[in-house]
Amino acid sequence: MHDIETFLSRALNRMPTRLAVLLLTCCYLLPALAPAQVKPATLFSDHMVLQRDMPIPVWGTASPGEKVTVAFNGQSQSTIAAPDGHWSVRLNKLTAGGPYEMKIAGKNTVVLHDVLVGEVWLAAGQSNMAFTVSSKAEFFAGMLDEDKVIAAANDPNIRMFTVATVKALTPQQSVNGSWKVSSPQTVGAFSAIGYVFARELEERLHVPVGILTVAFGSSTAESWLPREALASDPQLKPMLDGFDALEAFYKTHPHSSVAQAPSAPEPLNGRPMPPSTLLRDPAEDQHQPTVMFNGMLHPVIPYAIRGAIWYQGESIVGGAAGVALYPHVMETLLNTWRALWGEGDFPFYAVQLAPLDNISNNPVVREQQGKILALPNTGLAITIDAGDPANVHPKNKEPVGQRLALLALAQTYGFQLESSGPVFASMKLEGRSIRIRFTHAAGGLVAKGGPLTGFTIAGSDQTFVPAQATIQGDSVLVSSSSVPAPVAVRYAWADYPAGCNLYNAAGLPAAPFRTDHWDALSALALQFTGR
C-alpha cells in the first residue's frame, strides 16, 4: 500500500493542476459509484448456530434490484433486493448437525464457515444476565469457581453471540458482535447464566446450542419494548409521553441540569442525581422506554430461536406504582416479542429475583414476577437460595442457569424430570394451626440443613410473627403460640429472607409465597416514603 501511495504522489506531482484535481476527484467518487456488495446481517457469520426444525430467515443488504441467492446444506433460496437494498429469504427446516458452509451470492459471493444447526435461545434482560463467567471480562462479574468453569469450557458445540451495547432513539438495522466458540480462551466473556444454560442443554440434547445474548445493566422491561406497543396501550403510554417530553426538552436545552428538566425515571434501588448534574440525552438512559429495543433487539428480529430466558426486575421504575404495573409490562413484552418473531408462543423462562438486602428485591416484586406464569408456555426459576445480602450481582450463577435449563428440558423438550421447587397450592385451618399444601412435592418435602425455617403466621390483625413449621409428607403444618386464631401464612417474605430451607426431594427450593390477599403494595409505598 505504501508503494502505491508513493507512485500516485509522484505521478500527481508531474501532472498539470487541473488534471490532478480531476484524477483525485474520480478516485474519491469511484467507491461511491461502485455497486453495493451483497452483505449478510452481522448475525450471519462464521461459527453461527441456526435453529433446527423450523424455517430460518436470512437477511442482509445488496444493490437495489440485485438477485441474491442463499445456499445451505443442499437447498437454495433466491430473492431480489428491495429498493432500499434490503433482502431476506427463508430456508426450509433444518436438522441438527454440521459444520456446514453457507454461500450468499449476488454480484459477489460471501462464504460463511463452521455453521452448526441445533438449538438457539435468546438470553435477555439486565446486568445479571449480562454478568460474565470471568471476573476479568467485566465489572460486577465472575462466577463462583470461575477458574474451574473456564478450564472445562472446551466445547465447540456451544456458541454465543453477544450483542454490543447500543441505546437508540429509533430502531436500528444492525448490531455489532460475532459468534464465539466455547473454549477456555473465550468463555470468560460469555454470559454466565447463558453459558450454564447452554451447557446443560447440550449435555442432555446432544446437539449444538447457540445463545444470543441481548442484555444491559439496569435496563427496565419497558426499555425492551417498541414504540408501537407503548403508544397503543393506555397504561403504558404515559411512560412514552414522559420520554418524549424529556427528549424534546433535551434537544432544545442541551446544556441544562437535571433540576431544570422534566423528571426522569428512577429505579427502585437508584439514587437521585445531584440537581446540578448536566442532563444527558434521554435516549442514552436504559431506564427510558424503547431505547434498548431500538438499539439491540430490533436488529436481531426475526433470527430463528427456540425460546427466550429472561433475568430482569431490579430496575423497576416508579416506586410502588411501577411495581403494580410490572406484570402488565411483562405481559406486553412477551406478547409483543412473540408477535414480532412470528414463531407462535415460544417458550419464555424468567428468573425470580435473588435475595438482596435492598428494597429493589422485595417480596412484592417477586410475587409480581410470578404472574408471568398466567401466560402460556412460561416458567419461573426460583433463586431464593442463590443471593448475596450486599451484592445485587451474586456470583452463584450455576444454579440459576441450571434451573432455567430444567424448565426448558421438562417443558420444551419433554424430559421427565422435576423442574420446579415446591409451589403453594392451598391452605386449611386446623385448630390453632394452618396446613399448607404444595405442588411439585413428589417424594416429600425436605428441610435442608436443619429445622424448617422461613415461615411467619398472622391473625386477623395482619401482624406476622415467626412460626413453627413441621413437614408432614407433601404439606407443612404452621403455628405459633402467640397467634391462637391464625388466618394467614407467609414464607420467605423479605428482601433477604435468610435461612429459608424448604426444598423438594429433587433438591429445588420452594418459591416464596403468601396465603393472604392483603394490600402489600400500600405497605411497599410506605417503605418508599420512609427512604
Say whether pLDDT at 151 is over 60.
Answer: yes
Say whether pLDDT at 473 is over 80.
Answer: yes
Mean pLDDT score of the chain: 93
pLDDT tens digit string along 129-149?
999 999 998 767 999 999 999
Residue 14's pLDDT band, with cuts at 50, 70 and 90, is: low
For residue 444, give the DSSP letter.
-
- % of the chain exceeding 90 in pLDDT: 88
Among 320, 319, 311, 468, smallest CA distance to 387 is for 311
Give me the phi and psi of 353, to 5 degrees please. Answer: -60, 135
Which pLDDT score, from 0 to 100, does residue 523 have? Answer: 86
Chain centre to alpha carbon of residue 289: 16
From the CB of residue 217, how many other CB atoms can be counted at a distance below 10 Å?
Answer: 20
Q: Could you tell me which residue, 349 or 528, shows the higher pLDDT? A: 349
Q: Which three three-digit cell numbers place residue 272? A: 437521585
Q: What is the Cα–Cα distance from 267 to 57, expressed in whole angstroms?
A: 37
Least confident among 261-265, 350-354, 482-486, 524-528: 524-528
pLDDT tens digit string along 314-362?
999 999 999 999 999 999 999 999 999 999 999 999 999 999 999 999 9
Q: What is the Cα–Cα distance from 56 to 50, expressed in whole angstroms?
A: 7
Tell me the mean pLDDT in the region 513-519: 97
Tell me the mean pLDDT in the region 77-82: 98
Residue 269's pLDDT band, with cuts at 50, 70 and 90, is: confident
Q: What is the Cα–Cα distance from 23 to 254, expressed in whole angstroms?
A: 43
Say whether pLDDT at 300 is over 50.
Answer: yes
Q: Which three three-digit cell numbers place residue 466? A: 415467626
With beta carbons less than 8 A apart as the criterion, state whether 474 and 445 touch.
yes
Q: What is the Cα–Cα distance from 341 to 301, expressed in whole angstroms?
A: 6
Q: What is the Cα–Cα distance from 179 to 208, expressed in whole angstroms?
A: 13
